[in-house]
Amino acid sequence: MDDKYIFFALAFSFIFVSAFILLSFSEVNIPEDRFTSLYFNTTIVEGNGTTLEGKHLTISNDSIALDSSTPYNEGDTLFIDEKGYTIGMITNNSVQLYNYTKNVKDKIYFDFTIENLEGTDKEYTYKIFIDKDNVLEGNESINSNEKVIIQKTIPFNGEGTHRLSILLNTGAEIHFNFSSVK
């Protein structure tokens, strides 16, 4: 074999291995993802005998009671001072509450959060729909890396099952289904 080819093969191998070693020790900057987070809020209450919005909360295995009232079960909706909750999961010592109403009589309550992780201050526009009808619009200016909680109560008397959707100008969308109570 020709010595020239052996020399080229060794030189190429040396350059390739050296480049690989240099690149493996160099810092690679990966750009951070920039996005907007949109979500419905939840409340978790832990400890039997604690309070929720000033009401004494008693938790049992499959229900909760506020100030010794009629017990509520998973899936039930309750209001405390105009703020609505739907009961999620109940354990021996805690309860998860969704901050929106799934069983509606005369009004729908919900609160949601817009969190700006875009890296710059941003103006958000949101639209709220019931089924496909636009019922409310709003604007929020949110600084970079901050969030805003928005609380809304909408009068509603329609029968049947419906969907409430929130759509941001970024394209983000969230929703929940609710039913009227007879």
Model pLDDT for residues 62-117, shown as the tens digit of each residue: 888 888 788 999 999 988 888 999 999 988 888 999 999 998 888 999 999 999 99
The range of the structural domain enclosing residue 62 comes to 35-180
Q: What is the mean pLDDT of the chain?
A: 86
- Contact assessment for residue 124 and residue 150, using Cβ atoms and an 8 Å cutoff: no
Q: For residue 73, is it within any domain? A: yes
pLDDT band at 158 (very low <50, low <70, confident <90, very high): confident
Q: For residue 16, is it within any domain? A: no
Q: Please report, for residues 79, 132, 133, 159, the alpha-carbon distance to residue 162 in angstroms, rounded to integers and kept in the order given.
A: 20, 10, 11, 9
Report pLDDT for 8: 67
Report pLDDT for 105: 85
Residue 181: which region, alpha, beta or left (left: phi > 0; alpha: psi -120 to 50)?
A: beta
Q: For residue 3, is it within any domain? A: no
Report pLDDT for 137: 97
For the residues 17-27, what does the mean pLDDT come to?
61
| Beta-strand relationship, 122-130 and 106-117 | unpaired
Report pLDDT for 76: 92
155 strand-pairing partners: 107
Structure tokens at 113: 């959060």
Instruction: Choose between 105 and 167: higher pLDDT.
Output: 167
Report pLDDT for 131: 95
Positive or negative: CA dihedral 108, 177, 175, 163: negative
- Contact assessment for residue 99 and residue 43, using Cβ atoms and an 8 Å cutoff: yes
Query: Which of the 8 DSSP states describes residue 145?
Result: T
Residue 24 above 90 pLDDT?
no
Q: For residue 13, is it within any domain? A: no
Q: For residue 58, is it within any domain? A: yes
Report pLDDT for 61: 72
Q: For residue 26, is it within any domain? A: no
CATH number, domain containing residue 56: 2.60.40.10
Chain center to CA of 55? 26
- Number of domains the chain contains: 1
Buried b (16+ CB within 10 A) or exposed e, 150-173: bebeeebeeeeebebebbbebebe
Surface-to-core class of residue 114, CB atoms within 10 Å of its CB (0-12 exposed, 13-18 middle, 19+ buried): buried
Q: For residue 11, is it within any domain? A: no
pLDDT band at 27 (very low <50, low <70, confident <90, very high): low
Q: For residue 14, is it within any domain? A: no
Report pLDDT for 38: 95
